[in-house]
Amino acid sequence: MKEKFYITTPIYYPSNKMTLGNAYTTIVCDALARFNRKQGKDVLYLTGTDEHGQKISQSASALGKSEKQFLDEMVEDTKDLWKLLDISYDKFIRTTDEYHEKAVQKIFAKLYEKGYIYKGSYKGWYCTPCESFWTESQLVNGKCPDCGREVKFQEEEAYFFKLSEFSDKLLKLYEQHPEFLQPKSRVNEMVNNFIKPGLNDLCVSRTSVKWGVPVDFDPKHTIYVWIDALPNYITALGWGSDDDSLFKKYWPADVHVIGKEIVRFHAIVWPAILMALGIELPHVVFGHGWLMFGGDKLSKSKKTNEHECIDPRILAPRYSADAIRYFLYREIPFGYDGNYSTEAFLTRFNADLSNNFGNLVSRTFSMVKKYFNSIIPESYDLTEDDLYLKDYALNEAKEVFKHMEKFDLTKATASVFNIFTEANTYIQKVQPWAVAKTGDEKRLKTILRLLLETIRIGSELFEPFAPVSSRKVLNALGLDNKTFTNLDNINGLENGKELGSLDILFPRLDINAELESLSKLG
């Protein structure tokens, strides 16, 4: 049986259109999903939307729409965006899907029966127009952080989850499974900021929120936020339904990829819920950093999102999804915060995609065309220069796998580009055009074959990150393999086969002209 790999994004709030920030996580997971598929694994890549709560109702009514109509439109926009960015998710869950709502009610009831959920009362600062509770520390100058109006201290009946009982078990989990929470620095954050000061029980129901899943045995309550959202990772697999075959096959998740601001919920609350239910824990929770723009976190509610120059819906058709994807993997050190700037994006586009990868492919293909009518030449004796490039490429290929094992997409893409850079250096060194003049056909054939093989290896490895351009190159090389093949040798191409034609992969940009035209957009 094939090894399985189950990967998830957070389920995003569709209270507003998805940003490049949400796209970031989805793009990251896509490379991991594609890489694992290319390793021959049976991959399930889950994403979706978190559709309950006051914010959704407010966003819908502000537009004069019902929640359902508003959500359907948002989900359509989200799915269109994922398509535009070549996201290869296998399943999309909506928390308003009936099977999810039923399974969440079942979880709530089960936790209640087992004594992990009890009835108490919730105290906080209530903003009547926003219908939202806030804690003291969330208030801004003593007023509602959303609308700035007066708040009043209020108490309401609510159910609580006994999170406080799980401190020791969680500490033991981090100790026994150091791989559970990554990057490592997040473990100290959890232990020092939350577990050591003492975990509070978690409020898991509200009577004031109408747009939510009702507690079936006490329907004036709706199930609040995390206990509705987190279980999506198991309900999507059919947990709690008549058909739980996917759950049996794919659970536990191999990795939940999330932003750092929700690590607390995934590394504390989620394992506690699973322990309480007696369900196995996910293998890894990876909390990546934030994508920043002009010093601010990119977020749905912030003005930065209104800049069209960072709207992936504008960027992708203009520069290709591959280019956006590559930039994010390469430029934002995976696991840490990183800046998005249009200038850095355009610069990388030219330097890496156009001048390095694109140029390597186009000059090699045009030499094979010029000297050998586009027929893939055979290889003869390798010189020292050839052996150096060969070993270099095969070694970097191994490095890519090591980095991916550690979820280090930034280093993985850097290793792929080391291969392209080295191949370009090799061309300058061995000067095939000069060899052509000497009439040494065997030598010329060997050089060009080695270059084609190096391009093959690089493109194979690049495919999970930049699927469209890499696949074009692989197809032009006559390959239609789905899984990684021949990454430990330079015999992956067929002698005598004709190369397919290739357009320019990444046409070089006039950076100043692009900056000017983008600045007019937003």
CB 285 within 8 Å of CB 240: no
Q: Which is nearer to ligand ME8, 33 or 262 (CB)?
A: 262
Please, what's the largest Cα pairwise distance for the chain?
Answer: 90
290 or 357: whose CB is closer to ligand ME8?
290
Beta bridge partners of 127: 132
CB closer to ligand ME8 out of 291 and 404: 291
Residue carrying structure tokens 């535009």: 84
Nearer to ligand ME8 among residue 338 and residue 492 (C-beta): 338
* CA angle 28–482–78, rounded 5-degree value: 35
Cα-Cα-Cα-Cα torsion 286, 23, 83, 27, nearest 10 degrees, comes to -40
Q: Which is nearer to ligand ME8, 232 or 424 (CB)?
A: 232
CA-closest candidate to residue 356, choices 447, 433, 458, 445:
458
Q: How far is the CB of 358 from ligand ME8 (least distance, A)?
A: 28
Question: 481 — phi, psi (to 5°)?
Answer: -70, 145
198 vs 295, which CB is nearer to ligand ME8? 295
- Nearest distance, CB of residue 61 and ligand ME8, angstroms: 19
Sorted by sequence, the CB contacts under 8 Å of residue 522 that are 6+ apart come out as 306, 307, 308, 309, 310, 311
Q: Which is nearer to ligand ME8, 211 or 357 (CB)?
A: 211
Nearer to ligand ME8, 299 or 341 (CB): 299
| Nearest residue (CB) to ligand ME8, 299 versus 355 | 299
In whole angstroms, the minimum distance from the beta carbon of 374 to ligand ME8 comes to 44
Amino acid occupying residue 103: A
Nearest CB to ligand ME8, comparing residues 279 and 436: 279
Closest distance of CB 158 from ligand ME8, Å: 20
Closest CA to 283 of 59, 32, 30: 32
Residue 228, beta-bridge partner list = none
Query: In the complex with ligand ME8, which residue's Cβ is closer, 14 or 358?
Result: 14
CA 368-369-375 angle, 5° bins: 70
> How far apart, in whole angstroms, are the C-alpha atoms of residue 363 and residue 31?
28
Paired with 92 in beta bridges are 47
- The residues that touch ligand ME8, with contacts defined as CB under 6 A, are 10-13, 19, 21-22, 24-25, 50, 229-230, 232, 258-259, 261-262, 290-291, 297-299
* Cα torsion through 292, 295, 300, 305, rounded to 10: -100
CA distance 416 to 227: 41
**CB of residue 16 to ligand ME8, shortest distance in Å:** 9
First to last CA, the chain: 51
Sign of CA dihedral 236, 242, 246, 249: positive
Q: How far is the CB of 487 from ligand ME8 (least distance, A)?
A: 31
Q: How far apart are CB 288 and ligand ME8 at their closest, in Å?
A: 7
- The string over 134-156, giving b where at least 16 C-beta atoms fall within 10 Å of a residue's C-beta and e elsewhere, is beeeeeeeeebebeeeebeeeeb
Q: What's the alpha-carbon Rg for the chain, to the nearest Å?
A: 26
Interatomic CA distance for residues 232 and 223, integer angstroms: 14
CA separation, residue 102 to residues 203, 213, 328 (Å)? 20, 9, 37
Question: Shortest gap between Cβ of 19 and ligand ME8 (angstroms)?
Answer: 6
What's the min distance (Å) between Cβ of 294 and ligand ME8?
A: 12
CB of 228 to ligand ME8, least distance (A): 9
**What secondary structure letter does DSSP report for 220?**
T
Smallest distance from ligand ME8 to CB 260, Å = 7
